[in-house]
Structure formats: C-alpha cells, structure tokens
Amino acid sequence: MRATPKQAVLRMAALLVLAAGLGGCSIMPSFLGGGPDKPKPAELQPNPALLGVRQAWTNRIGDIGFPLSVAVAGNQLAVAATDGTVAVIDATTGQDVWRASVGAPIAAGVGSDGDVVAVVTRANEVVALSSGKVLWREKLPAQAYTAPFVAGNRVFVLAADRSITAYDGRGGRKLWTQQRPGEPLVLRQAGVLLAVGDTLVAGQGGRLAGLNPLSGAVRWEAPIASPRGTNDVERLVDLVGPASRLGSSVCARAFQASVGCVDTTRGTLAWTKPANGGDGIGGSDRLLVGTETDGRLVAWRRDTGERAWTSDKLLHRDPGAPLLVGNSVVVGDGSGLVHVLSREDGNLLNRLSTDGSAIVSAPVVAGTTVVVVTRKGGIYGFAPQ
C-alpha cells in the first residue's frame, strides 16, 4: 500500500541515518507539522464529563525533547528533562522524593526498579542514580533512544544499532553485550525492552527476541513484521514502545506496518494485523488500543487481533500511545488535552486540560493516580472523584 504524503513525512521525520557509530545526521523535513496542506483537526465535541476525574496535583520539570518513558515503581514515578534533571515523585501528593542532575542533556529515559534510576545522555553515556546521587556512568557503544530497563540488580540498554548491553546496577560493571546486524536506518524513538519472568524481551528490527538476562544468549525470536519495499525507508520495520504485557503475552507495534502479539513462553507469534501508526500501544486483558497516523484510534481483541472498534474523534489531533485503566482509555494529544474514552466503544467520557503543550509520553498509572507529562515539563496527576 502506497503511503500518503503525511505518512511519508512522518516516516522520514522519525529516521536517523546510521553511520560511523550513529554519528550521522537526522532527517527532519522543514515542513513537518505545518504548511497549507495540513489536515484540519477534528472538531472537539462538548465535554460530557460522564466520568468523575479531578486534577489531584501538578509538578514541573524542564522542557522535554526526547522520547520520554515515565517509570513507575509502586507509588512513585521517575521522570527526566532534556537539561539533565531527573526526579522521583510521590504519585499520591505530587511532591518530589528527590531531584538531581546528571550534568548533561538527556537522550533517553527513564528506567527504574524503585531504587536505581537510569537514563542515557546525548554523549552516549548511561547514568545510574539512587536517592538523588549519581552511582555511576558508562560509555555506550552507540546512541540510545529507548529508556534503560532496570531489573534484577541490572541495567539493560537497547541502543539504536540494536545492540543490547547489560550492566551491574550498583557498580556499573559491564556484564555482557549482544550485537545484532544493524540496518541503514533506525527510528529515533523509543523501542521495546521489558522482562517476562526470567526472560529479557527486546524489539530488534521487526522481531521480538527473548534473551537470557544473565548472558545475553537468544532464546527465541518471533517476527511481528518483515521488511518490505525497495528502499531503506520502506523496509524499516522497527518495533516501537510502549508494548503491552499480560502474563506471558507481549503485544507491540511495528512502525507503520502492523500490530501483533507473541506468546513469550514458547516464543511464537500468536497473530499479527496490518496497522499504520507510529506510536506504541496500550492494553488490557481483552483489548489492545493504538493510534493510527491520521489520529484514528483502533481497538483490537487481544486474543485474536480482530478489530473491536474504531474512533475518529481525534482525527489529526496527534494523539499518542494510550493507557487502558479500568473501563477507560486515556490518551493525550498534541495540544495538551487528555481524553478519557470508553473502553467498550471509544466514546468520550471526559476531557482534561494541561498546559497546552503536547503530551510527550504514554499516560501511566501509579496507585490510583493517572499521570501525564507535557513537552513544557508539566507533570499532572489525575484521580477519580
């Protein structure tokens, strides 16, 4: 299927040329996001306020210009800003638990197990902190755009060249590196890196791979998408985060290609369906929900991949990756609005405001609080009434 002009622009805007250890240039068209041909955003319907939600608190951090992943550990969450600030926040009160600086601009983050917090700087360093102090920093073999994954007293880093490196969480000693064949182009956004039981699960190209976290040995691989097309851009099929895990089922999106689920117990593909979005997906026990390039929301049945519903209420409003919580789907858009939709049919239940800048990461839930972060560094906690 031939991409539309907007799809082509979005695809090109997300790419980074790989050359000399990721020292190449970014492809960023000057007309991205503007111009007379930009589609008009869907008109917002009146807010029905059918579900009681209140703003519980706000906090702030610096501007965010990298693919932020908010890390949740218990009732605390970790965030970071481009200027090097890292903060751990109490999700009940919105107050800082601690705040520190890594002394350099940040390119990827945040990962946390509740004790160690890790980010990656633009100088290709992974930096680990605890209780507001830097524990260690180590040079990476390549730039990373995916938040480090912290678990089992280890810090795992998925780099843009698709290598994975494991470090000792407290001391920073390199434990192993697993290198995979690279591609001429990769996405300049967060990929997939998580754990299922005693297996580290990573997105490498269009595949989910299961690795032994002690050695980096590959246990299985399952393709969610395969390269197609005649040039490097058309053949790009990187997996993008966030992914959705339920037990041994991990479901993920291949950039502008497909959505699929893998049984990580056996390392086999359960199903895959064509999909044309650039952000990760949210999931529950029954559904997966994602946004397409044009802003349409699509829900798939988790067990079969069949479509459950679609919604065009956020067309061309640049919605990001959603969160499924309770009977609701929570998704932020490019104007800083947070939309709360019905999980059953995608109809609007409530709409919430922030500071008017784009929501930059998928909403997360910590305790009973749903948290979103804006590009200007606004951190907003919303709670049910």
Position of tokens 């319907």?
45
User: CB–CB of 281/288 below 8 Å?
Assistant: yes
Angle at the Cα of 288 (from 283 to 293), degrees rounded to 5? Answer: 115
Neighbours of 286 (CB within 10 A): 14
Q: CA-CA distance, 366 to 363, in Å (whole number)?
A: 10
| Single-letter amino acid, residue 169 | G
| E strand or H helix at 5 | helix 5-13
User: CB–CB of 290/297 below 8 Å?
Assistant: yes
Please list the residues that pair with 76 across neighbouring strands.
Answer: 73, 90
How does DSSP assign 105-173, residue by residue?
A: -EEEEEEESSS-EEEEETTSEEEEEETTEEEEEEE-SS---SPPEEETTEEEEE-TTS-EEEEETTT--
Q: What is the CATH number of the domain that holds 345?
A: 2.130.10.10
**What confidence score (pLDDT) does residue 232 get?**
67
Q: CA-CA distance, 182 to 365, in Å (whole number)?
A: 35
Please list the residues that pair with 285 across neighbouring strands.
Answer: none
**What confidence score (pLDDT) does residue 185 get?**
73
State the pairing for strand pair 199-204/193-196: antiparallel
Give, in order, the Cα–Cα distances in Å from 38 to each of 15, 41, 316. 21, 9, 9
Task: Tell how far CA 332 is from the center of its chain.
Answer: 13
CB neighbour burial string for 249-261, b if at least 16 within 10 angstroms, e if fewer: bbbbbbbbbbbbb
User: What pTM does this model have?
Assistant: 0.90
**What confidence score (pLDDT) does residue 184 get?**
64
User: CB–CB of 63/80 below 8 Å?
Assistant: no
Give, in order, the Cα–Cα distances in Å from 219 to each of 24, 268, 301. 32, 11, 28
Give the chain's domain count.
1
- Domain of residue 51, residue span: 5-384
Q: What is the pLDDT along the chain (385 residues), one digit of tens a residue?
A: 444 444 444 444 444 444 334 443 333 333 334 445 778 999 999 999 999 999 999 999 999 999 999 999 999 999 999 999 999 999 999 999 999 999 999 999 999 999 999 999 999 999 999 999 999 999 998 899 999 999 999 999 999 888 999 999 999 999 999 987 766 677 888 999 999 999 999 999 899 999 999 999 999 999 999 877 667 676 678 999 999 999 999 999 999 899 999 999 999 999 999 999 999 999 999 999 999 999 999 999 999 999 999 999 999 999 999 999 999 999 999 999 999 999 999 999 999 999 999 999 999 999 999 999 999 999 999 998 8
Q: CA-CA distance, 364 to 69, in Å (whole number)?
A: 9
**What confidence score (pLDDT) does residue 12 get?**
47
**What confidence score (pLDDT) does residue 183 get?**
65
**What confidence score (pLDDT) does residue 36 get?**
54
